[in-house]
Homo-oligomer: A and B are copies of this chain.
Amino acid sequence: MARGFRQKIRQKNTENSGFGSNAPSGRFINKDGLPNVKRRGVNVFNRLSWYHTMLNLSSFRFLSYLVIAYIVINLGFAFIYYLIGVEHLTGIDKSDPLNEFVDVFFFSSQTFTTVGYGRIAPVGFAASLVATFEAFLGLLTFAIATGLFYGRFSRPRAYLKFSENMVLAPFQGSTALMFRLAPYKNNALTDAEVIVSAAIEVIENGVPKSNFYRLETQMSKINTLALNWTIVHKIDENSPFYGFTENDFKTTDIEIIVQLRAFDEVFSNTVVQRTSYTSNEIVYGAKFTPMYYPSKDNLTTVLNLDKINEYQKAELPVAEEVQL
């Protein structure tokens, strides 16, 4: 990872990132905003919050897990009823063992879901006891499923799309690092605030080390996040990138870490979304093209989300060589 870096950064107040400065191993924040850290030790059950896990599953996987659990539980109970003996259940088709098992499986599912048609019903003590327990378990399971469903869809999320690349664009006679973001769902975000940091690898005493810098942006708060928002970090003397050439950007290990925080009016809650950009995601000499325009009747504004990654080439002003 440690590519050559010309020691251009003057000492600035570095940030408390929560990442140690030694042993930088790959990026700090993954593209999806989670820290690039693996945990070891403790045992896996203590290390995982199953609730966080269930909330982060895709809908498809979540539903698949529910269906699989339903089938496995019913197979398990069917097996128990079968061991107890089909003679303790009324209405079983006893023509052959397979039919018997099929019928106890369906009896199990009718008990677990509390449908209980009664065409098949328990008569002995053992079968009745198991059925009593299974119905109880069924209800608790659906109680948990109810909570998980609610937890999943009521989970406050920002629903933001970030541009895939950062661009180095001309800005006010100088250059600026820019990226943009837009809410892509019918949510209403207000009081949006962005925090941008940079992790830059430097060589200190021959050892690679990551320094963290807070990047100042032209606007760091807006009232309403209704359209897209282009965040602009002007590269002036307060920027750690002051004096960087195109080659510096390409040969230095840079990671730009972005955190956006806003208030969602439907959830009435603060939502946070993070992402990060690495050196190879920075486009040198480009600017974003507009992504919103007036509607035909001129009464509303249209935001085209497919254009969020669109940029065009742009000439950068010649950077004066900085004296260090």
Number of copies: 4
**Contacting residues of chain A (81-119) with chain B, CB-CB under 8 angstroms:** 90, 93, 102-103, 106, 109-111, 113-119
Q: Write the nearest CB–CB distance from A14 to chain B, whole angstroms.
A: 11
A13 within 8 A of B: no
Which of A136-144, A162-170, A238-246, A281-289 lies at the binding interface? A136-144
Q: Write the nearest CB–CB distance from A45 to chain B, whole angstroms.
A: 10
Q: Are the C-beta atoms of B142 and A113 separated by less than 8 Å?
A: no
Which of B119, B187, B271 meets A268, CB within 8 Å?
Answer: B271
Q: Are the C-beta atoms of B224 and A41 separated by less than 8 Å?
A: no
- Chain B residues, Cβ within 8 Å of A149: 140, 143-144, 147
Q: Write the nearest CB–CB distance from A258 to chain B, whole angstroms.
A: 11
- Chain B residues, Cβ within 8 Å of A151: 150, 153-154
- The A contact surface, by secondary structure, is mixed
Q: Are the C-beta atoms of B266 and A52 separated by less than 8 Å?
A: yes
Q: Are the C-beta atoms of A55 and B146 separated by less than 8 Å?
A: no
A131 to B109, CA, bound (A): 9
A66 to B141, CA, bound (A): 13
Q: Write the nearest CB–CB distance from A115 to chain B, whole angstroms.
A: 4
Q: Are the C-beta atoms of A42 and B305 separated by less than 8 Å?
A: yes
A304 within 8 A of B: yes
* CB within 8 Å for A110 and B116 given contacts A18-B229, A38-B303, A52-B185: yes
Q: Write the nearest CB–CB distance from A185 to chain B, whole angstroms.
A: 4
Q: Which residues of A contact B (CB under 8 A)?
A: 1, 15-20, 23, 25-26, 28-29, 33-42, 46-53, 55-56, 66-67, 70, 74, 90, 93, 102-103, 106, 109-111, 113-119, 121-123, 125, 128-129, 131-132, 135-136, 138-140, 142-147, 149-151, 153-157, 159, 161, 184-188, 190, 192, 195, 197, 219, 221-227, 229, 259, 263, 265-272, 274, 292-295, 298-308
Q: Name the 9 nearest CB pairs between A and B, nearest first.
A: A41-B306, A35-B226, A147-B150, A25-B294, A41-B305, A118-B118, A115-B116, A18-B222, A119-B121
Please, could you name 20 A-B residue pairs with CB atoms under 8 Å apart, sorted by A?
A18-B192, A18-B223, A23-B293, A33-B265, A37-B227, A39-B186, A42-B184, A51-B154, A66-B140, A67-B136, A111-B115, A113-B136, A115-B116, A115-B135, A116-B117, A117-B122, A150-B150, A155-B268, A195-B223, A267-B268
